[in-house]
Amino acid sequence: MRLTCPTCAAVYEVPDRLLADGARRPVRCTRCGAVWAPAAAEPGEPQAMAGEAPARPASPETGAPPGRAAPAAPRGEMPAFQTVPPAPPWSAAGAAEAAPRPLRAPPPRPPQWIAEERRSFAGPPARDGGRFALVAAWLASLALVAGGIAALWLWRAEVVALWPPAGRLFAWLGG
């Protein structure tokens, strides 16, 4: 069944089994957000084409404008669609009013005496041994890589027996 949004004329193809007579329920347009109840198609009646709006008025249950009651649909029939008032026009003044504001002010800076106590708990400043540790870590890493390569070269026959494609690498390297 083809459904057409009465507000923006968006067209949707919906399987008939989803809109069976007992399962009629309001649908929502993904383009404009309008909600309406699709009209039941009579067996001999052609389906509504795009741009055609059903002729039945909205019911109070589906969103008639406040203060005015829409005429009731005949007993046993589903209301045709729900009229949705258009959104108010966008304005820069309204956007400035709706701009997000911080929830609270930033925390104040701690008093000077608290900052001094924090420094006393930190302990003495670290010595400049960071450079030595960095050089030692690099040397240890390079030694491990060199040791792994040396072990592969020394036991290349065993490596080729376990993994035959390594033979091409050792042959290319001259071993």
Give 133-142 pLDDT, tens digit per residue: 999 999 999 9
Residues in the chain, pLDDT under 70: 20-24, 40-85, 87-103, 106, 110, 119-129
Tell me, yes or no, whether 1 and 83 share the same domain.
yes
96 found inside a domain = no
Beta-bridged to residue 2, according to DSSP, are: 13
Tell me, yes or no, whether 81 and 7 share the same domain.
yes
Q: pTM, whole model, 2 decimals?
A: 0.29
Residues 24, 30, 36, 41, CA torsion sign: negative
The residue type found at 57 is P
Tell me, yes or no, whether 83 and 135 share the same domain.
no
- The DSSP element (H or E) to which 71 belongs, if any, is none
Domain hosting 167: range is 130-173
- The DSSP element (H or E) to which 156 belongs, if any, is helix 156-162
